[in-house]
Amino acid sequence: MGVVYHTHYIDYFEVARTEALRSEGLSYKSIEDSGFYLLVLDLATKYSSPAHYDDLLEIQCDMSLSESRIRMLFEYTVRRKGEEKILVTGHVTLCFFDRKRSRPIQAPESVLKYIQD
């Protein structure tokens, strides 16, 4: 059909999320090395207009921490490079999860210093 398959946007969101954290000085690897995971709780995508093969895309990723500090929300906006028209929007809510205790936790201090405003 010449358009980007709808599920590929979820992969694009993951790359944008990883790079947004990295731009703040925090890598997924360092989170996992500290004994924590970020588990997906909720994911939604709204498709307004298709991207086509060979389009250069820009993905804006904004992140915020819940008041409880247990969840992080990442919001995405996808556009063709250099254009204002929004093609796709989406969000994902992640939960900080302690691997050893197998339960949700508040964001560890080692992470908070990178993501608090």
Specify the amino acid at residue 34.
Answer: S
The whole-number pLDDT of residue 60 equals 97
Q: Which of 19, 107, 9 is nearest to 66 (CA)?
A: 107
**Block means of pLDDT (10 residues each) for the chain, length 117 residues?**
93 96 90 90 97 96 93 97 98 95 90 75
The whole-number pLDDT of residue 112 equals 84
Q: 3-state class of 17 per DSSP?
A: helix
The whole-number pLDDT of residue 117 equals 53
The whole-number pLDDT of residue 31 equals 86
Q: Which of 81, 85, 78, 64 is nearest to 12 (CA)?
A: 78
Q: Residue 12 in contact with residue 105, Cβ under 8 Å?
A: no
The whole-number pLDDT of residue 116 equals 65
The whole-number pLDDT of residue 69 equals 93
Q: Which domains does the chain have, with CATH numbers?
A: 8-115 (3.10.129.10)
CA angle 111/113/116 to nearest 5° reads 100
Phi-psi bin for 54: left (phi > 0), alpha (psi -120 to 50), beta? left
Cα–Cα distances in Å, from 18 out to 8, 68, 82, 106?
A: 16, 22, 22, 20
The whole-number pLDDT of residue 52 equals 96
